[in-house]
Amino acid sequence: MYQDLKGCFQESSALNETQHETFFLPQIQQIWDAQKSAIKSLPCFQVLSDEAERKNLKELAQDWGTKYDRYIVFGTGGSSLGGKTLCRLENNPFSPSKVSFLENVDPDTFQDLCAAFDLKRTGFLIISKSGATSETLCQFLCLLAVCPDIQQDQIRVITETKESPLYLLAQTRGFTILPHHNGIGGRFSVFSNVGLLPALIQGVDIDALHQGALEVLDNPQPVLEGVALACQAMSQNLTMSVMMPYHDRLEPFAAWYAQIWAESLGKDGQGTTPIKALGTVDQHSMLQLFRDGPKEKLFTLIGCEKNSGDFTLAKDFENQSSLSYFKGQQMGDLLSAEFKATRDTLEKQGCPVRTIIVPEISAKSLGSLLCHFMLETILTARFMKVDPFDQPGVEESKVLTRAYLMENHSK
């Protein structure tokens, strides 16, 4: 994985080169030097070396993960975004996916699910770290209502081993419970069973995934530079962070990034607002604002050197002057050209742009990206002096939701 920051530090840029070089990066380096052992020992990174757990999950995926035609994950936020990001590697959007994700509690969507799936031939993975997530409990209870004769073996539950509503429900009904690691929060759980079991069922190479992540931990310098960049942006009131991958299979990654960045750093009046975008699609919807709107954004563009498949254009057009720029090109050439064009047009307008290039879209490169931004988020939080692992604002919303439901019940 190659990271280029030069576009962030032009003289005309919203960021100041001297301040970055003499202040932020040395401070970030000091934080890393002082805390690297403790950070590498965090459970969200320790699971990368847990070969026994990977072996158990592979066996479970080979057994339970092959018994049913389709699998649905019930979960929201960190319980779904990591697995969804991994599964997109092997998911052809134009054919039925082996693994699907139900993240919301929209009754119309649940009705669509019931109509589209043979529920007797479907396995269900129910995920909630706390075991008290209202949306996931509601999804699960609705499933049990519409399918009262569901078999015990169709269900696997991932939750903490404690007397939560989900744990007790699963225990009472005899559903198999897979322990959610107590020390790993949902949004940091992509390398645990939360992300790996759906990925394995979908056919993702989790060994390569972990290899890519471990390489980042062994060579964190690009991460430290990214943290310095983020802190520089915040110090100069760049209040938004745009994540814009140029590959459809990375679209869920941008959503995963948005959660981990927003929920980890948005505290005590601090943080920057993540914006997820997709190239080339959002060149036709957001680029005008990105280029000529308020200069309040830091951009991260992600491209790849090699496409797994490519297509040569038909030659019927070669005598048409208006299409001459397509001569000898493939589809991937246009994707790459648009990536460069967006980078250059933003830089020319003084917008700070970081580009990240991966060799190809693969399990290994995705593991590197996921680990990079987990570590970047944690170190940025350390600089900001906020806890990256709590979410008090979300907890308050959960309490109010239950209170409103109780009000409805008492009427």
Query: Residues with catalytic annotation?
Result: 263, 284, 398
Hey, which bits of 107-237 come out as E strands?
122-127, 155-159, 176-179
R_g of the chain computed on alpha carbons: 23
The answer to whether the CB of 141 falls within 8 A of the CB of 110 is no
Place of tokens 């409990």: 137
Hey, which bits of 85-175 come out as E strands?
99-102, 122-127, 155-159
H helix or E strand, kind and range, residue 20: none
For residue 266, give the nearest of 381, 355, 352, 367 by alpha carbon.
381
**β-pair partners for 236:** none
* CA 129/CA 391 separation, integer angstroms: 14
* CA 123/CA 70 separation, integer angstroms: 6
Hey, which bits of 110-261 come out as E strands?
122-127, 155-159, 176-179, 240-245
Question: Identity (one letter) of the amino acid at 83?
Answer: G
> Residues 6 or more apart from 271 whose CB is under 8 A from it?
234, 261, 262, 265, 384
**236 exposed, middle or buried (CB, 10 Å; 0-12, 13-18, 19+)?**
middle
Number of H helices, E strands in the chain: 16, 10
Give phi and psi for 108, each to the nearest 5.
-65, -40
